[in-house]
Amino acid sequence: MARELEYLDEAVLDAEGAARWYAERSPTAALRFSNELDEAEAAILERPEAWPAAGQGNRHYLLRRFPFSVVYRVEDARVLIIAVAHARRRPNYWKHRKRRPA
């Protein structure tokens, strides 16, 4: 079944904040971060059950070159990105986030 990819508003802010941080230091790093996030989205959509379960129905996809994970839930008609979370800062800060109705 083909699912749609959707981001919670807070997850968009996570991704934008990280991209902005990298852009302030290196446009090349910012582009690489953006590209790797695009690759993560494609991989998650292709095989959403492939990455480890992390409790509460969430899964984590770890970026290869950056200390971030994409936290997501697989639902019937969509894959919902809950957070683009830094691996070493504020662990589990996103756990209070509620899913948006499908």
Domain ranges of the chain: 4-95
pLDDT of residue 98: 63
62 touches 69 (CB < 8 A): yes
Mean pLDDT rounded to a whole number for the chain: 89
pLDDT, one tens digit per residue, over 76-85 is 899 999 999 9
Count other Cβ atoms within 10 Å, centred on residue 13: 13
4-95 has CATH 1.10.340.30 classification = no
Question: Alpha helix (H) ranges present in 26-79?
Answer: 27-46
Of all residues in the chain, what percent carry a pLDDT higher than 70? Answer: 86
pLDDT band for position 87 (50/70/90)? confident
Q: Provide the whole-model pTM.
A: 0.86
